Structure 1
Amino acid sequence: MPIRHYLLVVLLALLPLENLYAQGKLLLADARPRPPEILADERTGVVSGPIVVILNEAAANLGYQLRWRIAPFPRTLEDLRTGITDLVPGIFKNEERATFMDFLGPIGVESNPVLFLTRAGEEQRIKAYEDLRKLKIGVKRSTLYFPQFDIDKSMQRVGSHDDSNMVKMLLAGRFDVMIVNDKESVLAALTPAEKAHVGWSEYQATRSLSRYYGMSKFSKHKHLAPALSKSLRDMIKRGRVAEIYRDFGLSFKTYQ
């Protein structure tokens, strides 16, 4: 993390949040680790990364401050439905989510491969999309992968809550293949022993989705959604978003 962003995170943590809350100027945002754009240290509670800094600044432009909470994504979705959580970064739009959140931005378009992790020796089992219909597929709950798969009701899905648990379920035979849209996250979750027992299938899919910040329609601050969205778009237009990405050693065009 760039040192000035780390110092900013520490400084914000020391500010009188109770006073901001009393003034109605404090927003609760949830994060989960999505390196390199979202870095969340569960031990210290510190959340950083370009996506975090961008939202901090967009809110500050309106006179508001964010309090970040590290939470699993299903809990975040539940709390967005009730207005407990105001905001979530790095969200993709779908019809179900649109019933309880507004979409701010977008911050860019993410184009990534969607991969399939198998048990070692079974990599050739999946050579085309149709091969997936014969298999049980491990999915991360509340996660979007790619449009064809997301709306395909014929697929046999087995849900889990994180990569580490999903890998263990794959090796235990709970399902045949694990769908993956964040390879680095899965590689980080694999133990050295597990790496020897898994492999990547020949077949890959692709996704290209606009990424937004989601704001709860039940938040007491929901009236801020249009102004926050405009603040984010203005930051993109004047090059501020690209500058923040460079501060973290990243190129914003990689995520557009």
Structure 2
Amino acid sequence: MRGIVKQCTVVLGFLIAVPAAAEPLKLATDEWPPFRISGESGLTGLDIDFMQAVAKRVSGDLEVVQMPWGRALTSMQNGSADVMSGLAYRDERAEFISYTDTPYYNCTTAFYARQGEGQGIKTYEDLQNVPVGYVLHSAYFDRFDNDTALYKVGVAQESTLLDMLVHGRIPLMIGTDCQVDYIIQREGLSAQIEEVPYNPGNSVDLFLGVSKRSPWAEDMDRFNEVVRELIAEGFVSQSAEMYYGPES
């Protein structure tokens, strides 16, 4: 089940942080409600609240730059962006991204179909020969991510997948429940879309990552401590409640 990472230890003491650079902390990211929600004034959401709090505690201003997810990863690789949030850990990304030692949120992977059409998907093997929509450059779980035999249809955003699913352009999609369930509820799609019986049962841990080519990379100890502080103080759970409601 999705939820807040539970931090059992409380960090005592106070650490004075010296900013690694005079420039703002540049966050490269894309829309992914409720973590990043597009609006007239730019991006808001759980991740933006979280990253603003992180930036404040590491003595940096936050600059949010919206771009496609794949381009954001490239920006982390070449150092033109400093940080990303909502990152699932992958070895290939760790070559150019330093992950914090504690995830700040947990989700799980799920598959979705049109209402009444997904009950036959009960095992991983049932995915064979069924077109599965997914978001390009996303990490779900190893078996799916590395399976080149599956018929996969890649798009830029989950909202596009949901539209394709509702209109019958794909029979199945994969997503992260903490994001897809939110959109289904927000858009009133629960009567049109169902979660299929098969669930891989994995945990999708969301991390803050710092580009290894960013001057802020030398402050990883402070980033690690700040993430643990914000979890222990209940900041993340309180922010999540604003978007999901008290039951989150």
Which TM bucket (shorter chain)?
A: 0.7 to 0.9
2:97 equivalent among 95, 101, 124: 101
State the alpha-carbon separation in 2 of the partners of residues 33 and 183 from structure 1.
12
Match of 2:154 in 1: 159
Establish whether residue 187 from structure 1 lines up as the match of residue 184 from structure 2: yes
Q: 1:102–1:216: 8 Å Cα contact kept in structure 2? A: yes
Distance apart, 1:39 and its partner CA: 4.1
Distance apart, 1:247 and its partner CA: 5.5
| Number of equivalent positions | 224
Distance apart, 1:191 and its partner CA: 7.6
SS in 2 for 1:206: coil
| Percentage identity across paired residues of the two chains | 23
RMSD: 3.2
Q: 1:137–1:176: 8 Å Cα contact kept in structure 2? A: yes
Establish whether residue 207 from structure 1 lines up as the match of residue 202 from structure 2: yes
1:45 equivalent among 42, 65, 69: 42
Deviation digits for residues 4-28 of structure 1 (CA, Å, limit 9, x no counterpart): xxxxxxxxxxxxxxxxxxx724111
SS in 2 for 1:29: strand
Change (3 A) 1:224 1:173: same
Establish whether residue 219 from structure 1 lines up as the match of residue 211 from structure 2: no
Establish whether residue 246 from structure 1 lines up as the match of residue 238 from structure 2: yes
1:116-131 superposed matches below 5 A: 116-131=111-126
Distance apart, 1:46 and its partner CA: 4.4
Deviation digits for residues 14-54 of structure 1 (CA, Å, limit 9, x no counterpart): xxxxxxxxx72411113334444x243332114343x4333
Establish whether residue 79 from structure 1 lines up as the match of residue 75 from structure 2: yes
Query: TM-score of the superposition, structure 1-length normalised?
Result: 0.72
Match of 2:29 in 1: 31
Q: 1:109–1:208: 8 Å Cα contact kept in structure 2? A: no
Deviation digits for residues 131-189 of structure 1 (CA, Å, limit 9, x no counterpart): 11221211111112223322333322111111232234446665431112133244168
State the alpha-carbon separation in 1 of the partners of residues 187 and 49 from structure 2.
29
Q: 1:138–1:157: 8 Å Cα contact kept in structure 2? A: yes
Change (3 A) 1:111 1:67: closer
1:7-22 superposed matches below 5 A: none
Match of 2:3 in 1: none
Match of 1:15 in 2: none
Q: 1:163–1:185: 8 Å Cα contact kept in structure 2? A: no
Match of 1:60 in 2: 56
Higher relative contact order (CA 8 A, sep 6+): 2
Q: What letter matches 2:162 in structure 1?
A: V
Q: 1:141–1:159: 8 Å Cα contact kept in structure 2? A: yes
SS in 2 for 1:134: coil
Q: What letter matches 1:187 in structure 2?
A: I
Q: 1:117–1:179: 8 Å Cα contact kept in structure 2? A: yes
SS in 1 for 2:42: coil
Establish whether residue 177 from structure 1 lines up as the match of residue 172 from structure 2: yes
Higher alpha-carbon Rg: 1
Q: 2:28–2:75: 8 Å Cα contact kept in structure 1? A: no
Change (3 A) 1:39 1:95: closer
Match of 2:225 in 1: 230
Q: What letter matches 1:85 in structure 2?
A: A
Higher relative helix content:
1
Q: 1:137–1:157: 8 Å Cα contact kept in structure 2? A: yes
Unaligned runs of at least 5 residues, structure 2: 1-20
